[in-house]
Each structure stands twice: as C-alpha cells, then as structure tokens.
Amino acid sequence: MSEQQPEPVALTWRDVVATARRSAADGLVVGTSGNVSARVGDLVLVTPSGVPYDRLGPGDAVGVDLDGRQVLGELRPTSELPLHLAVYAETDAAAVVHTHAVHATAVSTLVTEVPLVHYAAAILGGPVRTAAYARYGTPELADAMVTALRGRTGCLLANHGTVTYGSTLDQAYERTAQLEWLCRLWLTASALPGRTPSLLSEAQLAEVAEALQGYGQPGRPGAPQPD
C-alpha cells in the first residue's frame, strides 16, 4: 500500500493482518484457510486469497467496494468475498472474522443449533444456528449464512466453519473465540457415555443477555464472559 493511502485505511489494514495472524496463532485456522475483513466507509479491506498471513505486509492491502469491485491492491481478494459482503449488506458490522475452528466445525456437522450448554451464547445474540451447507465462495453459502445470522452476531457454517461480526475487529474476534469455546464445551460435556448435558432455557439466556447490557468498562466495546 502506498504512502498516499489515508491513515485510517493503513491502520485498519494493519489490524486486519494482525487479526488474521492471531487466528492462525490460536489454532482457529490452518494454512491460508479462513479470512478477515474490516470496513472503512464504503471500502472493505479483506485478506487476499492463498497468501500465508505471516507474509502479508503494508504493501499487500486488498480493498473492494460494497459491490465487490476491487479498488485497492494487486492481490486477489479471498474467495469468500461474497460471504463478507453479505454480512456488511445485512448488518451494521464493521468487521468480519471467518475461521475453520476445529470444535465449532465439528459441531456444525452434528446440530442445526448449538445447544444452550452455557450462557456464553448470549454474547452471540442467542442460540447459535448452523447455516445449511453450500460450497465455499458461492452466493448460496452467503444466503444461507445471512439466514442463520438473523438476530445473531455469529453462526456456524455446516461442514465448514464459523462466521462472526462486530463493531471492531477485536469484538468480532472475541465472538469467534467464544463460539469455538462454546462448541468445545458442548462436545466435551456430550462425550461421557450415558450422560446428557443439562441445558439453559431461553428465559435463562434472556436474563443473561439483559445483564450483559451493563457489563464491561465504559467506552470499551466487546462483551467477554463475565468474570
């Protein structure tokens, strides 16, 4: 990216790359799987296709407009661009994180909705749904994801992975981490033969959602699990 790029774009690209590297370091993606994007006005900065995150630098920024036309950079955008654009079109998201997290992907092959084994589901807006399977990079996958995301800030993609969004990259990533943890918890609790995990009711989850409205530090977005 040239020095003429506006500072907000340069800073946001730096954060996109840092978030993508974090997803790899935390084991939520393998190789070049998964992708990250952030919106700056009508510009969407998105990780490129097939480039290891540790090789991305300031000059590798990739940007598209809200219709998907590339307006910044020479590298091709991620093949999951339709998925990212659909989130921005349907929500107030400023950032999107897509991973192939192991436990969440495993759960996506088992259920159409993640069982309410923990109140962390409230952080994602309620019971997390699984979007119907469609091939990666297709409009069909984006449409299925939009349906699963209604009223939620994250969902599973059947036999594929996760999608979360937020008002910042940190918030979107935190929601991804919470979703992976929630899925891992349910798989662990379900693994004991002859035992079935107890689940929260919708009313109990709603109570947590209300309590979360005042949780955290003023002026700092994001809602980690209460401590």
Cα(first)–Cα(last) distance of the chain, in Å? 41
- Residue 41: other Cβ atoms inside 10 A: 10
Please confirm, yes or no, whether 80 is among the known catalytic residues. Answer: yes
Which residues is 48 bridged to in the sheet? 77
Separation of alpha carbons 96 and 161, rounded Å? 13
Catalytic site residue from 7, 80, 113, 180: 80
Q: How many CB atoms lie within 10 A of CB 151?
A: 10
Q: Are 184 and 105 in contact (CB under 8 A)?
A: no
Bridge partners of residue 39, in order along the sequence: 44
Alpha-carbon distance of 50 to 80, in angstroms, equals 11
Catalytic sites, residue numbers? 80
